């Protein structure tokens, strides 16, 4: 079997998770499907520092274990219980890669943290290299994991993570021939919070749905996905649920706390595919604060359709399946590039 590894990477915009007072995702939906259990292998670069504590403890950052638990809980809630994460292995790993052929050690990493030079010395955990490690490939070959999470500190390299705050996803270069099993790899920074982790997932959703609908432009609302993702100032006065970066009422990216009120059909998508065309006023109070970023992403994810069947446009009515069953994307993106394979 050939396993393709799909990357979703991120960092930045630290914000602590908080309870959402708006009650997102609590509306019961008809014809819900049987839940999906996602088995996760988690790899963590979190070396022991000279003071005997782990890096995250020394620096006062979030516990990777706590982040993983809160992220899984947030996804379960936003998906109405449809997605259930289960970490089947947690493994501490050393830095990988280096500069000018020099291997980076945990001691190098610790020194870079103390010196504040992480972005210069580039001690790294390379998710692409990690994904091809024998202990990862053996589990892929046995078929007992569905996803890989990589936890690192700040300024560690990951595919596509160009700058702090740059959220992206891509498939790395590699062969595509043969029987394939797609395995998503998501990179998280424990310097950040759950909001950023959910944001990574949000861009993974956008990437999957863009493939399903043959591309996506925010100002072109001719497909159901584009109608879902419409925001007022990008879609010529049409607003629905918005995008990960831009809420339906925002004039610019990452404006999650804007009090601006626009008329939005977001809640109409809770009844998809029976859209009525109705809407109501939406502002930042629709998802609530004080963690407007995290609460918005939860609110956004909670509006993804998740009912049984196929729509008139030939797509599944449960869009979560396209995100968490990547092989379903083969029909829409047969030339997807790959990296890990067996």
Mean pLDDT computed over 16-43: 63
Query: CA-CA distances (angstroms) from residue 161 to 43, 47, 55, 76, 172?
Result: 18, 21, 21, 26, 13
Q: Which carries the bigger pLDDT value, residue 133 or residue 265?
A: 265
Least confident window among 120-129, 180-189, 226-235, 322-331: 120-129
Residue 23 has pLDDT above 70, yes or no: no
Dihedral over Cα of 224, 228, 234, 239: its sign: positive
Cis bond upstream, residue 132 (ω within 30): no
In this structure, of 95-99, 184-188, 244-248, 265-269, the range with the lowest mean pLDDT score is 95-99
- Indicate the range of 119-123, 161-165, 228-232, 314-318 predicted with least confidence: 161-165
Residues 6+ apart with CB under 8 A from 266: 239, 240, 241, 242, 248, 279, 282, 286, 303
pLDDT, average across residues 306-321: 95
* Of the listed ranges 11-20, 73-82, 154-163, 190-199, the one predicted with least confidence: 11-20
What confidence category does residue 158 fall into, taking pLDDT thresholds of 50, 70 and 90?
very low
pLDDT tops 80 at residue 230: yes
> Nearest CA to 186 among 213, 159, 206, 153?
159
User: Is the CB of residue 317 less than 8 Å from the CB of residue 274?
Assistant: no
Residue 58 pLDDT class (50, 70, 90 cuts):
confident
Q: Are 295 and 287 in contact (CB under 8 A)?
A: yes
Higher pLDDT, 148 or 270: 270
Look up the pTM and report it.
0.82
pLDDT of residue 176: 33
- When comparing pLDDT for 143 and 106, which is higher? 143
């Amino acid at each position: 079997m050939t396993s393709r590894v799909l990357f979703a990477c991120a960092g930045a915009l630290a914000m602590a998770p908080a309870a959402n007072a708006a009650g997102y995702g609590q509306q019961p939906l008809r014809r819900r499907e049987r839940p999906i259990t996602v088995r996760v292998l988690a790899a963590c670069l979190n070396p022991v520092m000279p003071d005997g504590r782990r890096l995250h403890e020394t620096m006062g950052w979030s516990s990777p274990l706590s982040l993983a638990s809160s992220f899984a809980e947030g996804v379960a809630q936003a998906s109405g219980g449809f997605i259930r994460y289960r970490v089947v292995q947690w493994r501490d790993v050393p830095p990988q890669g280096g500069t000018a052929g020099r291997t980076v050690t945990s001691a190098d990493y610790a020194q870079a943290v103390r010196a504040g030079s992480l972005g210069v010395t580039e001690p790294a955990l390379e998710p692409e290299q990690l994904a091809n490690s024998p202990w990862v490939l053996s589990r892929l070959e046995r078929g007992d994991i569905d996803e890989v999470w990589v936890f690192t500190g700040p300024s560690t390299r990951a595919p596509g993570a160009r700058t702090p705050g740059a959220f992206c996803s891509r498939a790395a270069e590699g062969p595509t021939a043969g029987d394939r099993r797609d395995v998503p790899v998501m990179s998280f920074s424990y310097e950040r919070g759950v909001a950023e982790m959910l944001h990574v997932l949000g861009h993974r959703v956008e990437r999957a749905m863009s493939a399903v609908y043959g591309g996506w432009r925010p100002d072109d609302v001719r497909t159901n996905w584009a109608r879902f993702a419409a925001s007022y100032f990008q879609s010529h006065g049409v607003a629905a649920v918005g995008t990960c970066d831009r809420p339906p009422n925002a004039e610019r990216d990452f404006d999650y706390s804007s009090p601006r009120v626009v008329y939005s059909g977001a809640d109409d998508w809770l009844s998809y595919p029976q859209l009525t065309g109705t809407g109501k006023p939406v502002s930042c109070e629709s998802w609530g604060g004080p963690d407007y970023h995290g609460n918005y992403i939860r609110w956004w994810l909670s509006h993804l359709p998740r009912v049984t069947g196929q729509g008139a446009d030939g797509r599944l009515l449960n869009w979560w399946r396209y995100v968490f069953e990547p092989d379903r994307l083969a029909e829409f993106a047969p030339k997807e590039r790959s990296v890990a394979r067996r």
